[in-house]
Amino acid sequence: MAGLLAAGYGARDHILELIDGLSQQRPLSSSTPPVAVTARPPTLAARSVADPQPAIAAVVTETPLAEKPAENVLAMNPIAAGLGAAASTQSSAGEQPIMESPPHRQPPAVNNTVHSAKTHNEPVIIVRHTPTPRELAEQHYQTALQLLDQERPTEAEIKLRQALLSMPEHHLARHQLATLLINQQQLQMAQEILSDGMAIAPENTSYCQLLARVLMERNQIANAVLILEKNLHYAPRNADYLALLATAYQRNSQHKEAIQAYAKALYKKPLEGKWWLGKAISLEATKNWGNALRAYDSALANGLEQNLSSYATQRKALVETKLTEKPD
């Protein structure tokens, strides 16, 4: 009897050793290192409780633990969960714990498009305004006016020329530059500036009038008459233009033409004392004493300057003398 019991116990010990060997050969997962556990001989109570046959069947038919999710393994065997946690803390730096890491998130794609602060859909468009030639010319012109107010004519002249380089049609800048040059007695240069202006805009009668004055100042009276006559069709009823033409006629000794031109100008502006004086001089030159006397009276009655008034008074006295003389 004792021999049979010893044989039974020996067979059961052999089966338990087989189970222990199988569990050591099958790892929990491919990434989890086996935990070394020192085998202890089973106690008598363990031997009496354990049932060898069902345990062997469970080993054969059960799905390997490595193929189950980690959470199922831990829920099914709390002791294994504790051993796994201990093993993960004792593992080397290159080994991973049993629990799965959170899913890896891809970084958002980089968008290099610059968006405005108001919306995220419309890109910011930076527009740099390039001044037009007209705008540049106007800027130079306004700067020149400021320099003239500051009595800096040399710098103003530079700005006016820059304005004309940007836009030759800037008539205010051209007229201002010509006037500045005339005041500085740079008549030849002023004549060139005005001639260019007439070539660009012949209908601009201010160029013609100013150029005629420059020519008369340079004693080029005949040229002044020609220019004024040539452009008269642009200003047939311009009183100032007609009076300037009359003055050019008079200085060119064309008194009949001067009388007619003065008459047309005075028809537009009958209170211009200087024009009455000019007409009186031409009437006197043609020995038309009666009309000359009346013209001098009109000149004196319409507010001449002191020097012109004195001259008109002297000429009037001479005309009166001519009227009192008896004809031969």
Last residue of a domain, one of 235, 267, 300: 235
282 and 264 in a common domain: yes
* Residue at 327 is within a domain: yes
Q: Is residue 125 very low, low, confident or very high in pLDDT (cuts 50, 70, 90)?
A: confident
Residues 323 and 256 in one domain: yes
pLDDT (tens digit per residue) in 244-268: 999 999 999 999 999 999 999 999 9
Same domain, 202 and 212: yes
Does the pLDDT of residue 12 top 70, yes or no? Answer: no
- pLDDT reading at 119 higher than 90: no
Say which residue, 141 or 14, is predicted with more confidence.
Answer: 141
Residues 222, 152 share a domain? yes
CB 72 within 8 Å of CB 100: no
Average pLDDT value for residue range 176-199: 97
Least confident of 16-30, 104-118, 216-230: 16-30
Is 124 within the bounds of a domain?
A: no
- Whether residue 227 sits in one domain with residue 143: yes
- Residue 105 pLDDT class (50, 70, 90 cuts): low
Residue ranges making up the domain that contains 299: 237-328
For residue 29, is it within any domain? no
Q: Decide if pLDDT at 223 tops 70.
A: yes
Whether residue 183 sits in one domain with residue 161? yes
Write down the pLDDT at residue 87: 41
Q: What percent of the chain has pLDDT over 90?
A: 58
How confident is the model over 14-56, as pLDDT tens digits? 444 444 444 444 443 444 444 444 444 444 444 444 444 444 3
Same domain for 286 and 217: no
pTM recorded for the entire structure = 0.60
Q: How many domains does the chain have?
A: 2
Q: Of 194, 210, 235, which residue constitutes the final position of a domain?
A: 235
Mean pLDDT score of the chain: 77
Is the domain of 296 the same as that of 324? yes
Asked if residue 197 and residue 186 are part of one domain, the reply reads yes
**Does 58 have pLDDT greater than 90?**
no
The CATH number of the domain holding residue 313 is: 1.25.40.10
**75 band by pLDDT with thresholds 50, 70 and 90:** very low
Q: Does the pLDDT at position 236 exceed 70?
A: yes
Residue 227 confidence (pLDDT): 97
**Domain assignment present for 32:** no
What percentage of the chain carries pLDDT values higher than 70?
62
